[in-house]
Amino acid sequence: MPALIGAPSSYGKPCGLIQGWARLALMAMAVLAVVFTVPANSAQDAAGQPLRIVALGDSLVAGLGLRASEAFPARLQQALAAKGYAVKIVDAGVSGDTASDGLARLDWSVPEETDAVILELGANDALRGIDPAVTRKALDEILRRLKERRIPVLLCGMLAPRNLGTAYAQAFDGIFPELAASHNVLFYPFFLDGVATKPALNQQDGIHPNPAGVDLIVERILPKMEELIARAKSLRGS
């Protein structure tokens, strides 16, 4: 820091006036540092803590077949950071989980310090042909309990494989938009939008996204994530 104009040219204690000006200068520098280093759309609270968003899901969240850095939570956090959001995306994905499995572990997967939840469950229910009524009941209870805790949710929809028949597909597909409306939560209609059935965007099993597929999911879901962050900030400040 340059020497203050008029400061005595000695190693002794500066006079009171010089000390006062020095304090004011340091305070001004601190204020400017905050203004120019905190993004305008930062998701931090007044204490500087990033929002904590739990991604509650199955292997599509857990990143089966991918490195941790390539999985949905990590790539989403990076994309949000690039837009200036201070957010921690917690990976609470468990490969093979059904909606009922997610409900069974809800309390410890979504701890008290959680600010918002991305709910991505149901794909395994459809793959196993589980009764849609069972899936609906589990997701409904998850949403009800999160609402009681005043945690905003982004519900990610899923579509049933068409080889299960029209009746099953209609019953299953309708679960997600109907629950989103009844619980007044944010809704992303199909988690695998633009990725499902695309060989270039999936791993060899044909159902789990590869890194390029994950990046496309992140790109498409970002607008809804920004809405979720806005809701979380509003509730945190209330």
Domain edges within the chain = 51-237
- Domain 51-237, second-level architecture: 3-Layer(aba) Sandwich (3.40)
Mean pLDDT of 165-187: 98
pLDDT score of 209: 98
Q: How far is CA 210 from CA 93, 154, 158, 213, 220, in A?
A: 16, 23, 18, 5, 16
CA Rg value for the chain: 24
Among 91, 100, 173, 208, the one annotated catalytic: 208
pLDDT beyond 70 at 79: yes
186-188 vs 153-156, strand pairing mode = parallel
Mean pLDDT of 33-58: 65
Q: Is 9 a catalytic residue?
A: no
Q: Is 205 a catalytic residue?
A: yes
**pLDDT tens across 51-66, in order?**
999 999 999 999 999 9
Helix (H) or strand (E) holding 135: helix 132-148
Among 58, 59, 91, 100, the one annotated catalytic: 59
Q: Is 215 a catalytic residue?
A: no
Mean pLDDT of 21-29: 38
Query: What percent of the chain has a predicted confidence (pLDDT) above 70?
Result: 79
**pLDDT tens across 81-126, in order?**
999 999 999 999 999 999 999 999 999 999 999 999 999 999 999 9
Separation between Cα atoms, residue 214 and residue 124, nearest integer Å: 18
19 vs 145, higher pLDDT = 145
